Chain A
């Protein structure tokens, strides 16, 4: 296992965390940041750091890690680097579940469970509809159409929602990291899933080469696939509950790391978590400071990065197929 890239990514995450504490609507000086982290700083800046910026940075890291990990698992399931919880409609399903729960007055774990049900339903629909079809293009297309369907449902729910909840829902839908409740739970889900998937790193490597080949080398394909379905849905639902459907993280991050030469899942899985976390923290810093004091929803920024990467990957795939 290559340790160097992992150490670098840890360092990158740390740097992004510190930058998240420094930048925002007001710039806070380094001595105050370190003071507040290491000892109680009762000034206003200290409060901003401990009560607002640190939880938001942790939420950003957590959401990025969850989505990047979910994306890498779905890419294995589909054997296609274009798979991502946003593209496949998993995040859309989770969003519809969560919105319905919000509308019915649920909170906390109720929203989370509804989001999980939505994500799982969406996964089962995509993989069930394209069952037995060779080639993952149809699967991907099914996912994209389903994502559009979820989008329409979201719009429908918004249109019948009372005005007072509308702005909150809208912001959440575009990726909103400012509500940091549940970040502890999110980090637990992230860590537990990472450890579990890491144990299955070798079956994941084999599954990327095809189900029949994996089976011929001793993988229980059926069981492993179900495990991956469920974990990917859980990761997506947790991320969506925390911050709304943020797109393309699961697509961009594994791709960049593979380009950097990290191919085996034993290294790839921890790397995508760290890199995904760093990427969303970076996007969050930009979202908070570009139009300060106005905040831009972070999902808009990730889409600006994600859409060109998706198109580039697709053209590359088409060219290779020729």
Chain B
């Protein structure tokens, strides 16, 4: 679905990752891990075509993302931002309706099917009580749920999520991870801070190491005590539960 060819990202004369090449297939869930400021968000924004690439190429369904119109791109990939600030009043339902925008002409209203999808998303993310509230009056976690519901309405084949569990309480985190796990034919790329969440939900991981180096592969291949130590610069040890699942603890 998404192919990255020798992509090099720099920011303020610092190389965030050099020569990154990997392929993300539908059905896969990728976790991007790395310390603060390593370029996780920059990478996601670049993959969404929202930041220009200095070198390297990104292809979505065999076509360079620079060759897509914004609208065609929005039909195929959707992104969850880390911050979203609203200056004007809009209700949660109005915001959910905006997520249909990529799928029809400039002035059209959502169709009956899309209205169903909106209701479904409002239901899935437990937004019923908030549907008519002004977005500016919601808490951080509530806003995060609205943004995730919007992504579900937008319904792209590739989901790019910047710290999707941010602000969410533990039950909502669990439900979200569960939902991401059973996405089926969609592909998910997300940045995370919690190694154990990554191993729980992701099939693959990309570790953004210091000095622009990186490691990519299946969870089993790349999530090891040594790699995590290289990544974060602190010692890691893993513990196994009765079922044999591994959990990582920083020392």
Q: A201-B107, A202-B98, A320-B136 are in contact. Are A208 and B70 (CB under 8 A)?
A: no
Q: Are B70 and A220 in contact (CB under 8 A)?
A: yes
Interface string of B76-104 (1 = CB under 8 A from A): 00110100111111110011001101100
- Are A200's CB and B106's CB within 8 A? yes
**Is the pair B81, A215 in contact by a Cβ cutoff of 8 Å?**
no
Do the beta carbons of A263 and B90 come within 8 Å of each other? yes
Is the pair B84, A210 in contact by a Cβ cutoff of 8 Å? yes
Interface residues of B in 54-79 (CB under 8 A from A): 69-75, 78-79
| Complexed CA–CA distance, A79 and B91 (Å) | 17
Contacts of A264 in B (CB 8 A): 90, 94
Which residues of B98-153 are within 8 A (CB) of A? 98-99, 101-102, 106-107, 136
Complex alpha-carbon distance, A81 and B136, angstroms = 14
Q: Which residue of B lies closest to A80 (CB)?
A: B87
Complex Cα spacing A4 to B179, Å: 41
CB pair A216–B50 under 8 Å, yes or no, is yes
CA of A206 to CA of B95, assembled, Å: 9
State whether A206 and B101 are in contact (beta carbons under 8 Å apart), knowing that A212-B81, A217-B154, A219-B70 are contacts in the complex. Answer: yes
Name the CB-closest residue of B to A266. B107
Which residues of B are found within 8 Å of A320, using beta-carbon distances?
Answer: 136
A217 touches B87 (CB 8 A): no
CB-defined contacts of A201 to chain B, threshold 8 Å = 107
Q: Across the interface, do B70 and A209 meet the contact criterion of CB distance under 8 Å? A: no
Provide the bound-state CA to CA distance between A217 and B98, in Å: 8
Query: How far is the CB of A260 from the nearest CB of chain B, in Å?
Result: 11
The minimal Cβ–Cβ distance linking B106 to chain A, given in whole angstroms, is 6
Q: Which of A200, A215, A258 contacts B88 (CB 8 A)?
A: A258
Given A202-B101, A216-B79, A217-B99, A263-B87 contact (CB < 8 Å): no
How does the 8 Å CB contact mask read for A73-87 relative to B, with 1 for contact and 0 for none?
001000111000000
Give, as a whole number of angstroms, the nearest-CB distance from A78 to chain B: 9
CB distance from B132 to the nearest CB of A (A): 11
CB distance from A312 to the nearest CB of B (A): 16
Q: Mark A293-322, 1 if CB is under 8 A from B, else 0.
A: 000000000000000000000000000100
Chain A 185-227 interface residues, beta-carbon cutoff 8 Å to B:
199-203, 205-206, 208-210, 212-213, 215-221
User: Are the CB atoms of A218 and B74 closer together than 8 Å?
Assistant: yes
Question: Do the beta carbons of B87 and A215 come within 8 Å of each other?
Answer: no
- Tell me which residues across on chain B come within 8 A of A210, comparing CB atoms: 84-85
Given known contacts A199-B107, A202-B107, A320-B136, A218 and B90 CB-to-CB distance under 8 angstroms: no
Q: Given the interface contacts A217-B101, A218-B75, A220-B69, does A79 sit within 8 Å of B48 by beta carbon?
A: no
Pick the most buried of A80, A199, A216, A219: most chain B CB atoms within 10 A of its CB: A216
A320-B88 Cα distance, complex, nearest whole Å: 12
- A220 and B69 alpha carbons, distance in the complex (Å): 8
Specify which chain B residues have a CB less than 8 angstroms from the CB of A205 in the assembled complex.
90, 94, 98
Known A199-B107, A208-B86, A263-B88; further 6 A-B contacts with Cβ < 8 A: A202-B98, A203-B106, A205-B90, A217-B101, A218-B72, A263-B89
- The residues of B with any CB-CB pair to A shorter than 8 Å are 45, 48, 50, 69-75, 78-79, 81, 84-91, 94-95, 98-99, 101-102, 106-107, 136, 154
Interface residues of A (CB under 8 A from B): 75, 79-81, 199-203, 205-206, 208-210, 212-213, 215-221, 258, 263-264, 320
